[in-house]
Amino acid sequence: MMDVSGVGFPSKVPWKKMSAEELENQYCPSRWVVRLGAEEALRTYSQIGIEATTRARATRKSLLHVPYGDGEGEKVDIYFPDESSEALPFFLFFHGGYWQSGSKDESAFMVHPLTAQGVAVVIVAYGIAPKGTLDHMVDQVTRSVAFVQKRYPSNKWVLPVDFLPVGPQWVGGQCNQYLGYSQAAPLACGAESKLGLFEGGLMLWG
């Protein structure tokens, strides 16, 4: 990996001297997968996710492609336990993908174990690069949390979670962290909503 000894001193920050191609290589985590290689790692992860999502949609009670906004692709998939009510705990999932890949349609691998424990799972779709901008992605995930709170106001709790599939890509992670610090998410729910928009956030990678 690159030498970062100059970090903290702007004149010596190594990335400033890198070409666009080298920057892309350094900051794209999938390119550093040794065992499978970048392309094979992404294909394998995607295939596992697609199979898990197909199984979840076929076997669990669900509401699919529910719009949380008017924008293109602003949809959520909601999966419920066998015995469900509006007072359920809700687990919101923001997929990883280095801002430019990934989909809710390949991200339901946690549905079975969580719904088996009585937790509803919400898989959130958001715009990805190059069409989607960073500000727009953050706005979308904020509105998705507000949407769940408005639709299920009696929920036990809402936990936004991201998963970073091939190293720390910081897609869902950055959006998730933003939710913890920003006032935008509570404001999006409206004054009638409860004070705590969600119980916390969980960042996973590996």
What tens digit of pLDDT does each residue of 118-133 get? 999 999 999 988 888 8
DSSP string, 160-193: EEEEETTS---HHHHHHHHHHH-SHHHHHH-TTS
pLDDT bin (cut points 50, 70, 90) of residue 10 is low
User: Which CATH number covers residue 60?
Assistant: 3.40.50.1820
Short-list 24, 2, 26, CA closest to 14 = 2
pTM for the model: 0.73
What tens digit of pLDDT does each residue of 14-35 get? 878 889 888 877 777 777 777 7
Residues of the domain holding 154: 27-205
Tell me, yes or no, whether 10 lies in a domain. no
Tell me, yes or no, whether 6 lies in a domain. no
What tens digit of pLDDT does each residue of 147-205 get? 998 999 888 777 766 543 332 234 555 555 555 545 544 444 443 444 345 555 555 54
Tell me, yes or no, whether 16 lies in a domain. no
If DSSP codes are grouped into helix, strand and coil, which group holds residue 120?
strand
Burial 16-47 (b: 16+ CB within 10 A, else e): eeeeeeeeeeeeebbbebeeeeeeebbeebbe
Tell me, yes or no, whether 180 lies in a domain. yes
Tell me, yes or no, whether 161 lies in a domain. yes
Tell me, yes or no, whether 93 lies in a domain. yes
Tell me, yes or no, whether 137 lies in a domain. yes
Q: Residue 111: what pLDDT?
A: 96
Total domain count for the chain?
Answer: 1
Tell me, yes or no, whether 178 lies in a domain. yes
